[in-house]
Amino acid sequence: MSERLDDVKNRVISCTNCNLSKSRTNAVPGNGNYHSDVIFVGEAPGRNEDLQGKPFVGTAGQILSEALEYAGFTRDQVYITNVVKCRPPNNRQPITEERTACRPYLSEELEIIKPKIICILGNTAYSSLLDGSEITKNRGKIVKSDGRLYFVTVHPAAIIYNPSLRQVLKDDFVFLAKSLDKLRKGLDVEISQ
Ligand code: URA
Ligand code: SF4
């Protein structure tokens, strides 16, 4: 257990730093293994997450779990969080003010867990963490920014609308798992510019 992460969780649960606190049922702090060497970052909680207070427990969560297992990860091995911790009404994308207000929590999660790689799930996490507007260029690749390594892939919910991405996500996670293995052994991984 990490007391520092528990402290972040408790502050998220009672946070009123942006307007999303008014419409949420539950805030959704990050969840999973405090010792994970990879953190998965999604966009924002959806309906099921808002009701249960846990990230990725709805349809997108099932797709995420399936792809993780395909690559040999289990949900309880890894740490999963979102750019914003409260559900935007009607699942709209979180606006800049909300992302900015919520950013310190994600920064603390990254600082405390110190993962070897941060896995970006989709455009919102991509633009929030890497300042990029479109993930296509770097999807499936490892990018270095401010001394951290990021792996970029699609959002699991994108698969609901575009089933051909299901295998893309799975193959990306296989590549991520292999890259993590290399990093654990102190070997180099290929970094995209
Ligand atoms: N989509 C996300 O981005 N995060 C969740 O927690 C659930 C769905
Ligand atoms: Fe606080 Fe983040 Fe929820 Fe806004 S989205 S109320 S900043 S926890």
Is residue 130 assigned to a domain?
yes
* Inside any domain, residue 192: no
Sheet architecture: strand order including 31-32: 31-32, 79-82, 38-42, 117-121, 148-153, 142-145
Q: Which ligand is nearest to the CA of 80?
A: 1
Is 193 within the bounds of a domain? no
Is residue 27 in contact with ligand 1, taking CB distance under 6 Å?
Answer: no
Ligand nearest, relative to CA of residue 11: 2
- The pocket around ligand 2, CB under 6 angstroms, is made up of 12, 15-18, 20-21, 27, 84-86, 98, 101-102
Kindly state whether residue 77 falls inside one of the protein's structural domains.
yes
Residue pLDDT tens, the chain, 193 long: 589 999 999 999 999 999 999 999 999 999 999 999 999 999 999 999 999 999 999 999 999 999 999 999 999 999 999 999 999 999 999 999 999 999 999 999 999 999 999 999 999 999 999 987 677 789 999 999 989 999 999 999 999 999 999 999 999 999 999 999 999 999 999 998 7
Residue 120 has a pLDDT of 98
Strand-strand pairing, 117-121 and 79-82: unpaired
CATH label of the domain that carries residue 143 = 3.40.470.10
Ligand 1 pocket, 43 CB below 6 A?
Answer: yes
User: For the whole model, what pTM was predicted?
Assistant: 0.97
Ligand 1 pocket member 98 (CB < 6 A): no
> Range of 178's domain?
2-184
- Ligand 2 centroid to residue 191 C-alpha, Å: 33
d(CA 98, CA 141): 28
For ligand 1, pick from 26, 28, 43, 155 the residue to mutate: most ligand atoms within 8 Å of CB. Answer: 43
Enumerate residues 6+ apart whose C-beta is below 8 A from 136: none
Backbone angles phi, psi at 45, to 5 degrees: -60, 145
Query: From the CA of 186, how far away is ligand 2's center (Å)?
Result: 37
- In this structure, is residue 138 part of a structural domain? yes
Has residue 30 been placed in a domain? yes
Cα of 88 from ligand 1 centre, angstroms: 11
Q: Are 107 and 146 in contact (CB under 8 A)?
A: no
Domain count, the chain: 1
Give dist(CA 48, CA 64) in Å, integer.
14
Domain annotation covers residue 191: no
What's the burial of 82, exposed, middle or buried (CB within 10 Å: 0-12/13-18/19+)?
buried
From the CA of 82, which ligand is nearest? 1
